[in-house]
Amino acid sequence: MLNCRCLSHGLVLLTQLESQQRNQQMNQLRNLHQSHLETQRRTRQMNQLENRHRSRHHHQMMNLMMKRLS
């Protein structure tokens, strides 16, 4: 038969372990969320750069065409 003190100590250890695991899971989730946000931000930046480049290229082409036409 386990004595009371031993049992309560075991319970304390268990709850500590559970909270550690919960913290780890929360950290993993947070990290996942962060990396997801990072990826989204990078994708947005790449799209913006591409669009800027494309529009500049488009303007250059249009200018060339107009010069040739005139």
What's the rounded Cα separation, in Å, for the pair 41 and 45? 6
User: For residue 4, is pLDDT > 80?
Assistant: no
Residue 69 lies in a domain: yes
The residue segments making up the domain with residue 58 are 28-70
pTM above 0.85, yes or no: no
Q: Give Cβ neighbours of residue 10 (< 8 Å, ≥ 6 apart).
A: 2
Please check the confidence at residue 2 and state whether its pLDDT lies above 80. Answer: no
Q: How would residue 19 be classed by pLDDT, with cut points 50, 70 and 90?
A: very high
Give the chain's domain count. 1
Is the confidence at residue 55, as pLDDT, over 90?
A: no
6 belongs to a structural domain: no
CA–CA dist 28, 44 (Å, integer): 24
Per-residue pLDDT at 1? 54
